[in-house]
Amino acid sequence: MNIVVCVKYVPDAQADRTFSQDNTTDRTNVDGLLSELDEYAVEEALKLAEAGEGEVTVVTVGPDGAAEAIKKALQMGADKGVHVLDDAIHGSDAPATSLVLAEAVKKAAGGSPELVLMGLASTDGTMSVVPAMLAERLGLPQITQLSSLEIADGKVTGRRDSDAASDTLEAPLPAVVSVTDQINEPRYPSFKGIMAAKKKPVETWSLADLGVDAGQVGLESAWTKVESFTARPPREQGEIVTDEGDGGTKLAEFLAKAKLI
Amino acid sequence: MSAPNPALTKLLATDGLLEEDERDLAAVVRRFGDEKLRPHLAEWFEAGTVPARELAPELGKLGLLGMHLDGYGCAGSTATQYGLACLELEAADSGIRSLMSVQGSLAMTAIHKFGSEEQKQEWLPRMAAGEALGCFGLTEPDFGSDPAGMRTRARRDGDDWVLNGSKMWITNGPVADVAVVWAQTDDPSTSSGRGKIRGFVVPTDTPGFEATEIEHKLSLRASITGSLAFTDLRLPGDAVLPEVAGLRGPLSCLSEARFGILFGAMGAARECLEIALAYAESRKVFDKSLSGYQITQTKLADMAVELMKGTLLAIHLGRRKDAGAITNEQVSVGKLNNCREAIKIARECRTILAANGITLDYPVMRHANNLESVMTYEGTSEVHQLIIGQALTGESAFR
């Protein structure tokens, strides 16, 4: 089975993330990495490929640094990578990203892929909409947010857990599937994986290579944009309530003051 | 939990001396430490144990066990890569790095260097995967720095060998599947009746093998240490390591382990300094940060200087080793300096954390205590001083 995994290079969520002057995510002054939620999609693809015949191709759309995200996936065990790199993509929103991804996935798979795997959400935009948009553009069925996944008899089956119920969903292949962080435990790149990744093929494609018009993507064409932003105020020092026999009363007063009771 | 300190990283600037794959490897091992080790270390240390049998397969999957060896399921890394893995593991805890060192540098290296093809096939792939654990029996209750005096005897009985004696301070001993045991052989043709010291590959389920855990340690508590006793332990003739006779065998394995330690100790030191920097910044004393006081900055600066020197020394020796040019004396320089400075750094960091430093809520005193052992095993600081002294003067002053 040929599996394409779409991954994103995101600013490290542990670092102080901010926006650039044009109100897009600052991707140059903050260290980036493979979105941790995408590691679950990579792991699931590797497990499927290892269980049978198959090849795992990792596709990303992003700036120069996004090659790091591909490298990490290759170190984990993916077979090859595709990096869509074009200055015109800067500032693209989810619809534009899904347009570029759709063309890249088709080209990477040489037509229609058998399975496209994606993470629950990117850890920067956290919109969770790109899998659905990509499925629509590819004309494929979509099952999103799976916590378990099986492939058998030309179908993908899986469980989607919500607060009230767990649904078992099924779709014929090919399909676009997004997975949650409950589905597996992503492997660490092994030493051998790190060394092997250096020899794996990575192709870099421009919008022209994909036949996408630059006017359809980028900040100017975005359907949504960030108007302004404000840094989160620093966390205030906590208040320590000392219990001198009246701890309960003091605690109640504190909660009342905060209008919590 | 530690986090890389950007200012310290920038000051050290050692990343620029490393290849991309070396940095990637270090980052993976650090993350493994953050996710799989650091959350549990205080608990393991307090309990005086470590789930060695569960951790070994995970280290195996990472490719860290016997990683610098070639073939037989081993990863075939460079010495520098191996050193960096030691550094990142020891940043979490010296006990975890000890587990890896004893498995890879001592037990597996002995079999890889001196074993028969059958011994290699039988043990190395499983040990590289972490499915089988090994230990290395050289030190005895009465013979540490003078292993030549060992009392463990291997007597020939027909084709068999019969072992009697004991070993002490054996990391992984009580959980090992296989022990590489060094023993004095008999040779009636010599005037003393003594032959050469030989190595034996001893499955720990052999009758006559007994391992007892050493308790009440105040150091390397997240590591399993034991004593081994051999009572008329009968081995087939092919249990001997065929390719070496004499102390050169075990000592060459020790040199491998020492090399890992000279990197590892700098990991422990870096962890302590990162913690102390974060603590000094957040701790308010007389309404300002502890880090704003000259006396704190003096400490921090001196520690950063020693950390940088030691790390540079480690990388230098890594490159020397990869060039096939390193000498035992140079390994001694690294082991002596980096253990000595690491323990000083850990203790100094403890003073910055003051009372909080004495608890397991922070890793500094755990590291300081661990480093007492690290300074001692694989050659004490004094032994390394004598090795360096001999190299400089041509005179042996060991005895």
Q: How far apart are CA A155 and CA B78, in angstroms?
A: 45
Residue B1 has pLDDT above 60, yes or no: no
pLDDT at A111 over 80: no
- Tell me the per-residue pLDDT of B34-58, one tens digit each, with 9 for 90 and over: 999 999 999 999 999 999 999 999 9
* pLDDT score at A113: 85
Chain A residues in contact with B61 (beta carbon < 8 A)? 187-188, 190
Q: Among candidates B63, B128, B127, which has minimal Cα distance to B89?
A: B63
Chain B residues whose CB is inside 8 A of the A190 CB are 61-63, 75
Q: Which residues of B are catalytic?
A: 378
User: What is the C-alpha to C-alpha distance for residues A130 and A148, in angstroms, rounded to an integer?
Assistant: 20
pLDDT band at A131 (very low <50, low <70, confident <90, very high): very high
Locate A254 and state its tokens: 């504190």
Chain A closest CA to B32's CA: distance in Å?
A: 8
A198 to chain B: which residues are within 8 Å by CB? Answer: 21
> What's the whole-number mean pLDDT along residues A53-72?
95
pLDDT at A17: 85
What is the DSSP code (8-state) at residue B240? B
Each residue's pLDDT tens digit, B196-211: 999 999 999 999 999 9
Chain A positions touching B63 (Cβ under 8 A) are 190-193
Chain A contact probe: residue of B24, B31, B36, B74 with most A CBs at under 10 A: B24
- Distance in angstroms (rounded) separating the CA atoms of residues B225 and B283: 37
Instruction: Quickly state the pLDDT bin for B383 (edges 50, 70, 90).
Output: very high
Among B21, B62, B64, whose Cβ lies nearest the Cβ of A195?
B21
**Test mutation, A31, A185, A194, chain B, max B CBs within 10 A:** A194
- For residue range A210-222, list pLDDT tens digits in order: 999 999 999 999 9
A14 chain-B contacts, CB cut-off 8 A: 3
Q: Do residues A201 and A81 make contact, with C-beta atoms less than 8 angstroms apart?
A: yes
**A194 interaction partners in chain B (CB closer than 8 Å):** 21, 24-25, 28
CB B145 within 8 A of CB B172: no
Residue A101 structure tokens: 């991804």
pLDDT at A112 over 80: no
- Mean of pLDDT values over B19-32: 96
pLDDT at B39: 97
Tell whether A62 lies on the interface with B, counting CB pairs under 8 A. no
Q: Report the phi/psi class of residue B232: left, alpha or beta, with left for phi > 0 and alpha for psi in -120 to 50.
A: left
ipTM of the complex: 0.89
Residue ranges covered by each domain of chain A: 2-216
Quickly state the pLDDT bin for B2 (edges 50, 70, 90).
low
Percent above pLDDT 70 for chain B? 99
Query: Are A214 and A207 contacting, i.e. CB atoms less than 8 angstroms apart?
Result: yes
Q: Is B26 on the interface with A (CB under 8 A)?
A: no
Question: Does B151 contact A at CB distance below 8 Å?
Answer: no
For residue B356, what pLDDT is reported? 95
Q: How confident is the model at residue A14 (pLDDT cuts 50, 70, 90)?
A: confident
A237 reaches B (C-beta below 8 A): no
Chain B residues 67-126 with CB within 8 Å of chain A: 67, 75, 77, 81, 85
Residues A175-211: tens digit of each pLDDT: 999 999 999 999 999 999 999 999 999 999 999 999 9
Which residues are bridge partners to A60 per DSSP?
Answer: A7, A83
Of the pLDDT bands very low, low, confident and very high (cuts 50, 70, 90), residue A232 is confident
Average of per-residue pLDDT values in chain B: 96
pLDDT band at A235 (very low <50, low <70, confident <90, very high): confident
DSSP B197-231: EEEEEEETTSTTEEEEE----SS-TTS-EEEEEEE
Q: Which residue of A has its CA nearest to B74?
A: A192
Instruction: Check residue A83 and give its pLDDT.
Output: 98
Contact B62 A190 (CB under 8 A): yes
Is beta strand B288-289 parallel, antiparallel or unpaired with respect to B284-285? Answer: antiparallel
pLDDT surpassing 60 at residue B118: yes
Nearest Cα residue in chain A from B58: A188
Contact call for residues A25 and A222 (beta carbons, < 8 A)? no
Give B61→chain A minimum CA distance, Å: 6
Which chain A residue has the Cα nearest residue B129? A190
Instruction: Please give the residue of chain B at the shortest CA–CA distance from A72.
Output: B24
pLDDT computed for residue A243 by the predictor: 87
- How far apart are the C-alpha atoms of B367 and B345, rounded to whole Å? 10
Domain A2-216 top-level CATH class: alpha beta
Question: A15 vs A183, which has greater pLDDT?
Answer: A183
Cβ atoms of B72 and B227 within 8 Å: the answer is no
Reported as a pLDDT band with limits 50, 70 and 90, residue A106 is very high
Q: Please identify among residues 33-52 of chain A the ones whose CB lies closer than 8 Å to any CB of chain B.
A: none
